[in-house]
Amino acid sequence: MSNLRPILRQLVESKYLDLFGVLLVLGVCYYRSFHETIFYQGEIQFGIPMTELWSHVQQGAFPLGLLSMLGAVLSLLGTRLVGKQNNWGNLLNTFTAINSGVLDFLFGNASAIITYPLSFFINTFAFANWNKGQKIRKIDRNYFIIVIVGLMIGFALVFLGAHLFGGRADTTFLTVVSITFGLSLGGNFCNALKYEESWLSWIIYNIVQLTKNTMQMNIANVVKYIFYLFNAFITLFDWKLNGDK
């Protein structure tokens, strides 16, 4: 096991893996034609050629696709920086929460109005707490409490938001959003306290996303979440075996 320690730390610290992840996410977004998506006149419009995009923006269109691509790249880099125990990753994730909230709302998740502000404040707390010198901590009873409470809050806020603000209201959609948001909520709070097992939470989160996208035959997202899953695995074991930087 000791032979794995330097390999794990090198993978987590690798700038080449950062670059590979960015190119993979951009490739996935391009494959799904995210760059051709806008929000215009109260609805999402797909298949807008890049040559016509700027003229639509001048007429008041919101470049939903391009900002989705930017948010995806920044989210990946923020995740990688957190894995490197670089506090700038928490700060980056704080700002990507704003971008993700706006985009999620425009894609029909009306509960984003009340869910993403919570993610924003948790990431802000993570940045402040790490800035005080928070060390990696071992799993304890509080970790499980945080995970369970995160899921409960996720379901409560998503269904409450749908009831109050409308948007997509089908049960399957709201349940999937609740589970993924609840897992991310617990994962982010555990990260703020620097639990080793915060990466276990992200492993479970990525498995859920991977399963969902495999069932939907969304191959592009399957590839993306395989990378995220790999990153969560190596970071979990790096934190466990190598500890604080």
Longest dimension (CA), the chain: 60
Q: Residue 149's Cα: distance from chain center in Å?
A: 19
- Asked if 177 and 207 touch (Cβ cutoff 8 Å), the reply is no
Please name the residues in contact with 101: beta carbons below 8 A apart, sequence gap of 6 or more. 112, 113, 115, 116, 117, 119, 120
Instruction: Find residue 188's DSSP bridge partners.
Output: none
Annotate 187-209 with b (16+ C-beta within 10 A) or e (fewer). Answer: bbbbbbbbbbbbbbbbbbbbeeb
CB burial class (10 A; 0-12, 13-18, 19+) of residue 23? exposed
Q: How confident is the model at residue 2 (pLDDT cuts 50, 70, 90)?
A: low
Task: Tell me the HSE value of 103 on the side-chain side, using a 13 A CA sphere.
Answer: 18
- Model confidence pLDDT, tens digit, residues 49-93: 888 888 888 888 888 788 888 888 999 999 999 999 999 999 999
Residue 211 sits at φ, ψ, to 5 deg, of -65, -45
- Model confidence pLDDT, tens digit, residues 112-140: 788 888 889 999 999 999 999 999 999 99
Please name the residues in contact with 35: beta carbons below 8 A apart, sequence gap of 6 or more. 29, 50, 53, 65, 66, 69
pTM over 0.75: yes
- Model confidence pLDDT, tens digit, residues 148-198: 999 999 999 889 888 787 777 788 888 888 899 899 999 999 999 999 999
